[in-house]
Structure 1
Amino acid sequence: MSHITAIGTANPPHRFTQTQIADFMVRAMQLSYEDSRRLRAIFNASGIAHRHSVLDDYGRDNGFTFYSNAEDFEPFPSTAKRLETFRKHALTLSTASIRNMLQQRPGFDVKSITHLIVVCCTGMYAPGLDVDLVKALGLSTQVQRTGINFMGCYAAFNAMKVADAFCKSDPHAKVLVVCTELCSLHFQKVATDDNLLANALFADGSAALLMEAQTTASLSLRPESFCNELAMEGENDMAWAIGDLGFEMKLSTYVPDIIKSGIARLTASLLERIDKQLADIQFFAIHPGGKKILESIEQALGLDKIANEPAYRVLNQFGNMSSPTVLFVLHDIVGKLTHEHHGQHILSFAFGPGLTLESMILKIETH
């Protein structure tokens, strides 16, 4: 048996409006009048009001601290500089989300953690963030460490599946999952369609989750079923590559349509495993990869927009933070649960390169 007993979230201190970021992007990308209008239209239609970054440059019009102060922003930051900055900030942000998580488990001894799973696709170094967390938190040096890297927005699902397996194989397992992404380090200034869209969506954040084989927590979420699907026709519509000037995102406007075409079949397969219907689901935790993705899923499944409100709320206040984002949505839902919700279910989705569609059913348990 496995139980999610706590979820925590954190963001960097620098919070910007979409207008502030758009102003920065227009200048940095040296956009023409027409491209500037197109970028602002994308930003205005994104459903995002605010985003966070470890960099303060996105709210400045001069005196940049990470980017060059030259008019053409050259020399543009190298991949090495971006990864040095990742290493500088990732641990602080990760420990902040863990502290937030531990507030839900007063008295929990972090030394009892048996497994640590670290998820990231926006930075890497070795010894890595996992080792830094062991030192910073005072975890046992024998804690079993697993890294899930470069899988993108759906990676939290892989982490939860691994944690679920650990708990089912070890009755004493206490698994800490940490998803930390600094997407804003990888801003690209070439005015391609992919970059215009990516620059409108992505942001920085961290989420931490505790999964235990046994628990006395008053509220927990029990994974009942996982199911994934590969929509191979979308293989070239979402991708993430390492370039000389940071990590480069490919994100086409066809992604919502591809997800829409496959989400009903995936949902049916998932629900069939626990002999449930969509009408049996009370809550939805959908990764807000973008406003159009949320709308496409609602159309495909016949969902009311109100049922999807947690995803819209996270998108509006934080943007798309890649892997932690779906945990932000779950965190939003959990914060409103009471004993009256015992036995009810949460259906969750996330999407990423592949094109990968992940799904999960969680059962709410209260004691």
Structure 2
Amino acid sequence: MSTPVGLISLATAQPPHELPQADVAEAARGVFRDRFPQFERMAPVFESAGVRTRQSAMPMEWYLQPRNWPERMEAYTAAAVDLFTRAARGALDEAGLTGGEIDVIVTVSSTGIATPSLEARAMGALGFRPDAARVPVFGLGCAGGATGLALAARLAAAQPGCRVLFVTVELCTVSFRMDEPSKADIVATALFGDGAAACVLRSGEDGFAQVEGVAEHTWPDTLDIMGWRVDPQGLGVIFARAIPPFARKHLRPAMDAMLSAQDLAVPDVDRFVCHPGGMKVIEALEGSLDLGQGALDHERQVLSDHGNMSAPTVLYVLDRARRVGLPRRSVVTALGPGFTASTVTLRAA
């Protein structure tokens, strides 16, 4: 980037309810076996997904009852504001800042609808100034962690001295559905969890890493790969095409182009920090980027401990990577609906 931007802090937050994968599989069998004839054939996904446990906004019993739109959004709003506040406060504390010192708040969330948006609802608790700019973003899905970080960096670069707080909150479990189960619903039940992450960015050379560049690539005619459909009961997950084979085949040319625009190539990257969409996605990323099997170790651990939390997940991976020591250059990358790859290139401090 033409103006240096420092990544000053990074914090994560989890909801209170633990969902061990074995318990989820047992509950899913009780719910889906009689409603979805192919359930037993798909049941091994609970073992192969790479998820050991994950956290949820509501206790498991809540998901076993039919829920409508108002109930889902009431649960989303209450839990999302709590997670937003805790993640943001963690990032502010690490940065040595108060909410009143933040100039811009970027909020990314695609698993619920809250108007006023989450940062407005958290303004009082976090002490944001009345003149702070609010930038709520919806629809990025799993790419939102990388895309939101890139947007926050661009805003910090645009106004020297500007302090930007980026918060992403996703409550994927609020959309678990029992009414008309599909293969996509079974996969979602095996993979998704809830979580939040927050970062503070500021123009300048300080921070644990500097943003060197940002890029996106959206493939044409891929709207059906992943997303939401809107039903009377709530949001319904769309997985119309398998993501792992698409990533294995198409990610490398797109990554080459995105890095080339920054005068870089894949061998110049010491560590890819990837969104772990699932175990098969991790393996596809390793294959496409020639990383070697097992290279994405932090990604596997985050998936095991938290599931796929959508947008915040890649920031959980970045947090693990920076705690053991970021290499000289890393690229934060995530895939999401669009179908889009988003990247943020970082240089360690």
TM-score by length of 1: 0.89
One-letter identity of the residue aligned with 1:299: G
Q: For residues 118-157 of structure 1, what are the structure 2 equivalents within 5 Å? A: 118-157=107-146
**Structure 2 residue 248 is matched with structure 1 residue 260:** yes
Counterparts of 2:121 and 2:62, CA distance in 1 = 25
Q: 1:117-171 CA distances to partner (integer Å, 9 max, x unpaired)? A: 1110111122221111211101101100001112211122332222122212211
Counterparts of 1:350 and 1:216, CA distance in 2 = 25
Question: Which residue number in structure 2 is paired with residue 355 of structure 1?
Answer: 339
One-letter identity of the residue aligned with 1:197: V
One-letter identity of the residue aligned with 1:359: T
Q: For residues 107-126 of structure 1, what are the structure 2 equivalents within 5 Å? A: 107-126=96-115
CA contact (8 A) 1:31 1:191 kept: no
Question: Which residue number in structure 2 is paired with residue 16 of structure 1?
Answer: 19
One-letter identity of the residue aligned with 1:166: L
One-letter identity of the residue aligned with 1:246: G
SS at structure 1 position matched to 2:264: coil
Counterparts of 2:90 and 2:41, CA distance in 1 = 39
**Structure 2 residue 318 is matched with structure 1 residue 330:** yes
C-alpha change, 1:102 and 1:358, in structure 2 (3 Å) is same
Counterparts of 1:211 and 1:320, CA distance in 2 = 25
Counterparts of 2:340 and 2:315, CA distance in 1 = 18
Question: Which residue number in structure 2 is paired with residue 60 of structure 1?
Answer: none
| CA-CA distance at 1:65 after TM superposition | 4.4
One-letter identity of the residue aligned with 1:285: V
Question: Which residue number in structure 1 is paired with residue 184 of structure 2?
Answer: 194
CA contact (8 A) 1:53 1:184 kept: yes
SS at structure 2 position matched to 1:211: strand
Counterparts of 1:113 and 1:255, CA distance in 2 = 38
| CA-CA distance at 1:46 after TM superposition | 0.3
Counterparts of 2:114 and 2:91, CA distance in 1 = 25
| CA-CA distance at 1:199 after TM superposition | 1.3
| CA-CA distance at 1:253 after TM superposition | 5.3
Q: 1:260-288 CA distances to partner (integer Å, 9 max, x unpaired)? A: 22111112112212323322222221001
Q: For residues 178-217 of structure 1, what are the structure 2 equivalents within 5 Å? A: 178-189=167-178, 190-214=180-204, 216-217=206-207
Structure 1 residue corresponding to 2:301, chosen from 291, 296, 313: 313
- Residues 145-154 or 234-243, more deviating: 234-243
Counterparts of 1:251 and 1:66, CA distance in 2 = 21
Stretches of structure 2 lacking an aligned partner (at least 5 in a row) = none
| CA-CA distance at 1:77 after TM superposition | 0.5
| CA-CA distance at 1:2 after TM superposition | 1.1
TM-score by length of 2: 0.93
- Residues 346-355 or 137-146, more deviating: 346-355
CA contact (8 A) 2:107 2:136 kept: yes
Aligned pairs, number: 345
One-letter identity of the residue aligned with 2:84: S
**Structure 2 residue 307 is matched with structure 1 residue 304:** no
One-letter identity of the residue aligned with 1:17: P
C-alpha change, 1:33 and 1:94, in structure 2 (3 Å) is closer
Question: Which residue number in structure 1 is paired with residue 8 of structure 2?
Answer: 5
Question: Which residue number in structure 1 is paired with residue 38 of structure 2?
Answer: 35
CA contact (8 A) 1:78 1:245 kept: yes
Stretches of structure 1 lacking an aligned partner (at least 5 in a row) = 58-63, 69-75
CA contact (8 A) 1:181 1:206 kept: yes
Counterparts of 1:65 and 1:130, CA distance in 2 = 26
- Percent identity, aligned pairs only, is 25
Counterparts of 2:258 and 2:217, CA distance in 1 = 10
Q: 1:157-203 CA distances to partner (integer Å, 9 max, x unpaired)? A: 33222212221221121000110011101111223111111111111
Question: Which residue number in structure 2 is paired with residue 231 of structure 1?
Answer: 219
Question: Which residue number in structure 2 is paired with residue 72 of structure 1?
Answer: none
Counterparts of 1:362 and 1:162, CA distance in 2 = 14
Question: Which residue number in structure 1 is paired with residue 157 of structure 2?
Answer: 168
Q: 1:3-59 CA distances to partner (integer Å, 9 max, x unpaired)? A: 1111111111111211101111112224479634234201111011011101112xx
Q: 1:303-326 CA distances to partner (integer Å, 9 max, x unpaired)? A: 123431111111111111011111
SS at structure 1 position matched to 2:166: strand
SS at structure 2 position matched to 1:23: helix
